[in-house]
């Protein structure tokens, strides 16, 4: 018997009392947390001292970064999905039953079917959703690649595009902070490859006063855009889109004509979070930035896009946060104390065109410093697109 196993059995009222871990959300964050805990608590699970349950809205797991490639017809949709049950450790209970209420005080979750799930520890990893409809005219006029349906529609509509004014419109807040630059550069390459570049003009709009939130990325991207003839309109927060005149208008008063409008839509957290969790404005849970628990509740953890931490909403953020939560919940169960802090680490690949890529990483104390684009990084990114499934299984 390990020390951790002995402590668990000894600390419980009544030896061998089972600890239940309930995870809401079967995306990247929820899957990594579930599989990582199953690995760290292997002996406890095998001895029925720990039970892990995942509740998800769907039985399919989508590799979301792949949607960028789907929008250009470079991958097929079915390459982006895996069966969620097969991703999870077989000892984990898995239920496809969307959550309709989360009672954080009592760690109880009510689902669409009317069932109530309880846990000693609760992990909320319900992700984010696009809010294209929150800006008048945007949903009707703009193409987007943040959903499979949107990415396929963009792929098909691009085939009909014969050249003209292209506007890539970025809104706040959004998931995947480098996606706006990636889609812009990939659009440029697409138009060039299809001999439409001479007949087209790309304008990129961004909410703050430079072309990217990260200053080093902006310093790299701005001259890159200039070199490629891509115009940038900064301090542009979308007010409305007028489909009749094909004009997009900003809160700052700028008007831009377009023939083909691509949007990085504003996002919100899950509706169930917005409705259930006190203080979760916009569906973002008030989260301790180091321990990753819901403010005031040390046995309810928040992972991935669902946090309100002022940090990138990205897959790598979810991954690094998940590693911290796995260590802390397993340590709480085995040793009665949390193990470590999350340091704010984020790592992002940046596709800088069809054949080159770069990357950037940072944390709470180290500012970002992107590397020079190379073919090698692009090839590694393509390899990671396949390796993702090992991450979701908690093996990478």
> Does 346 contact other proteins by CB under 8 A?
yes
Which stretch, 5-13, 77-85, 149-157, 304-312, contacts other proteins (CB under 8 A)? 304-312
> Does 281 contact other proteins by CB under 8 A?
yes
Comparison of 31 and 132: residue with beta carbon closer to other proteins: 132
Instruction: Report, in Å, the least distance between residue 312 CB and other proteins.
Output: 5
Structure tokens at 300: 């309810």
Indicate which single residue of 25, 368, 373, 394 sits in contact with other proteins (rule: CB under 8 A): 368
Instruction: Report, in Å, the least distance between residue 64 CB and other proteins.
Output: 18
> Does 164 contact other proteins by CB under 8 A?
no
Instruction: Report, in Å, the least distance between residue 112 CB and other proteins.
Output: 26
| Cα of 175 vs its chain's centroid, Å | 6
Instruction: Report, in Å, the least distance between residue 303 CB and other proteins.
Output: 18
> Does 173 contact other proteins by CB under 8 A?
yes
DSSP string, 214-275: SHHHHHHHHHHHHHHT-EEE-S--EEEEETTTTEEEETTS-EEE-SEEEEE--EEE-HHHHH
> Does 229 contact other proteins by CB under 8 A?
no
> Does 278 contact other proteins by CB under 8 A?
no
Could you tell me which residues come within 8 angstroms of residue 349 by beta carbon, excluding any fewer than 6 positions away? 178, 357, 358, 359, 377, 380, 381, 384
Contact by Cβ (8 Å): 264, 167? no
> Does 110 contact other proteins by CB under 8 A?
no
Distance CA 89, CA 23 (A): 14
Buried/exposed code over 123-143 (b: 16+ C-beta within 10 A; e: otherwise) = bbbbbbbbbbeebebbbebbb
Distance CA 26, CA 303 (A): 11
Indicate which single residue of 26, 27, 127, 344 sits in contact with other proteins (rule: CB under 8 A): 344
The strand pair at 165-170 and 260-264 is best described as: parallel
Instruction: Report, in Å, the least distance between residue 176 CB and other proteins.
Output: 11
Query: Could you tell me the CA-to-CA distances from 394 to 30, 33, 161, 245 in Å, in that order?
Result: 11, 8, 41, 50
> Does 371 contact other proteins by CB under 8 A?
no
> Does 25 contact other proteins by CB under 8 A?
no
DSSP string, 286-307: -B-TTT-EETTEEEEEE-GGGB
Kindly identify the residues of this chain, within the stretch 36-75, that bind other proteins according to CB under 8 A: none
Instruction: Report, in Å, the least distance between residue 206 CB and other proteins.
Output: 9
> Does 251 contact other proteins by CB under 8 A?
yes
Q: Enumerate binding residues for other proteins (CB under 8 A).
A: 134, 172-173, 177, 207-209, 213-215, 235, 237, 251-253, 266, 281-282, 289, 310-312, 344, 346, 362, 364-365, 367-368
């Amino acid at each position: 018997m390990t020390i951790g196993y002995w402590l668990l059995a000894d600390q419980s009222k009544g030896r061998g009392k089972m600890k239940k871990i309930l995870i809401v959300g079967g995306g990247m964050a929820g899957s990594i947390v579930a599989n990582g805990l199953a690995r760290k608590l292997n002996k406890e699970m095998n001895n029925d001292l720990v039970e892990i349950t995942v509740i998800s809205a769907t039985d399919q797991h989508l590799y979301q970064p792949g949607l960028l490639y789907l929008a250009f017809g470079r991958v097929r949709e079915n390459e982006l999905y895996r069966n969620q049950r097969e991703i999870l450790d077989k000892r984990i209970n898995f239920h496809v039953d969307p959550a309709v209420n989360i009672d954080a005080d009592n760690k109880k979750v009510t689902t669409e079917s009317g069932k109530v799930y309880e846990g000693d520890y609760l992990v909320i990893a319900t992700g984010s959703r696009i809010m294209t409809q929150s800006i008048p005219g945007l949903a009707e006029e703009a193409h987007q690649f943040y959903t499979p349906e949107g990415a396929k529609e963009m792929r098909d509509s691009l085939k009909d595009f014969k050249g003209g004014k292209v506007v890539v419109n970025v809104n706040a807040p959004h998931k995947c902070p480098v996606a706006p630059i990636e889609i812009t550069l990939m659009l440029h390459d697409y138009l060039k490859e299809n001999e439409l570049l001479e007949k087209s003009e790309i304008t990129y709009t961004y909410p703050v006063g430079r072309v990217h939130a990260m200053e080093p990325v902006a310093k790299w991207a701005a001259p890159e855009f200039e070199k490629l003839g891509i115009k940038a309109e900064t301090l542009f927060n979308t007010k409305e889109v007028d489909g009749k005149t094909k004009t997009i208008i900003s809160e700052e008063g700028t008007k831009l004509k377009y023939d083909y409008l691509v949007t990085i839509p504003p996002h919100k957290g899950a509706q169930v979070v917005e409705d259930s969790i006190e203080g979760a404005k916009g569906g973002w849970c008030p989260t301790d930035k180091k321990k990753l628990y819901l403010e005031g509740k040390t046995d309810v953890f928040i992972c991935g896009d669902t946090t309100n931490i002022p940090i990138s909403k990205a897959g790598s953020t979810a991954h690094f946060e998940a590693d911290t939560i796995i260590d802390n919940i397993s340590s709480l169960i085995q040793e009665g104390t949390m193990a470590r802090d999350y340091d704010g680490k984020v790592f992002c690949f940046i596709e800088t065109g069809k054949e080159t890529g770069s990357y950037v990483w940072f944390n709470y104390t180290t500012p970002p410093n992107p590397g020079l684009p190379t073919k090698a990084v692009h090839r590694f990114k393509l390899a990671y697109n396949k390796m993702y499934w090992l991450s979701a299984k908690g093996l990478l």
